[in-house]
Amino acid sequence: MGRQDVNRSGDMEVFARVVEHGGFSAAARALHMTPSAVSKLIARLEARLGARLFNRSTRRLQLTPEGTSFHERALRVLADIEAAEREAAAGAVPRGLLRVNSSVPIGSLYLLPVIPAFLAQYPEIRLDLTLTDTVVDLLEQRADVAVRAGPLRDSRLVARKLGESRLHVVASPEYLARNGPLRSPADLIHHNVMAFNFDRQVQGWPFLDGTGGITHYPQIGNMAVSDGDTMRKLAIEGLGLARHSRYHVDADLRAGRLVTVLEDYNPGDLEPVHAVYVGQGGHLPARVRAFLDFLVANVHLP
């Protein structure tokens, strides 16, 4: 049993504010405390834990590895406390602020059309929706749910699969009329192959090599972009070749704005789409569970 005068959740809240605001003085202003009181509280917390949480300098605070680990767990505990108090006060009715982060194409094409029905079904939920192709840390951003395409990498997250979609190399008919057809992946060297400029992009496009194996061809062109929707629009404008999931370009293919190329060499790889959330070993707030169930029932990928 710990000492009864130790306010662990209060200490975690102060610690989290110091990290959020980047210093004792800024955290003190946010908490209506004095900087010395915040500094003393952090010192007592470090003494109780037997670990240094910050490396201090005259200009900045930097989390130690122990501090980083404690910060992740503290955010999770504080979120659980907030959810428990809210649900205890209001029962299990889905309500309150729901923070959702989604990639731009999935959000634009598949979330926005169903959000009106979701909010009509759960009128006591307030939705905070961010569309970005930057992969965010759910704990740091205090997001409840993120909708992401591609393989899952963060073991702290739980996922519900919304579907999967085959990948295709596409171009506009106008681009192909100007630059000629592609009969094999070797022809890519004569074409403008657009790329992404973020670190998590896959280096090279995979194609069947004719012997049962797969060969990756580099993306060499005059354009690199930050998100898939920008690349899709540039492909429609005839700037070059792009590689997209079917869900992203399905409407463009059906309308003839884009066409697939090199399908005989398509390895058939699929891009999964998941709704991910922090929830291992914990009780999901009613608003989060309602949103996850709604997505599974209403988001259908081609």
Separation in Å, CA 176 to CA 171, 179, 181, 207: 7, 5, 6, 19
263 and 288 assigned to the same domain: no
23 and 76 assigned to the same domain: yes
179: helix, coil or strand? helix
Per the domain annotation, does 3 fall within a domain?
A: no
Residue 121: which pLDDT band, with cuts at 50, 70 and 90? Answer: very high
124 and 259 assigned to the same domain: no
Picking from 33, 65, 88, the residue at the C-terminal end of a domain is 88
44 and 119 assigned to the same domain: no
Cβ-contact 22, 62 below 8 angstroms: no
170 and 226 assigned to the same domain: yes
Q: Which residue has the higher pLDDT, 24 or 57?
A: 24
Beta pairing partners, 166: 270
The residue segments making up the domain with residue 246 are 165-271
Per the domain annotation, does 1 fall within a domain?
A: no
Average pLDDT of 224-233? 89
140 and 124 assigned to the same domain: yes
pLDDT digits (tens, 9 = 90+) for 160-217: 899 999 999 999 999 999 999 999 999 999 999 998 886 555 568 999 988 888 999 9
Per the domain annotation, does 196 fall within a domain?
A: yes
178 and 43 assigned to the same domain: no
Q: Sign of the C-alpha dihedral, residues 297, 94, 80, 132?
A: positive
CATH code for the domain in which residue 255 is found? 3.40.190.10
Predicted local distance difference test score (pLDDT) of residue 158: 83
65 and 112 assigned to the same domain: no
Number of domains within the chain: 3
Q: Other CB atoms closer than 10 Å to residue 131's CB: what's the count?
A: 18
pTM: 0.63
Element housing 129 (H / E): strand 125-131
233 and 194 assigned to the same domain: yes
CATH code for the domain in which residue 49 is found? 1.10.10.10
Q: Other CB atoms closer than 10 Å to residue 12's CB: what's the count?
A: 20
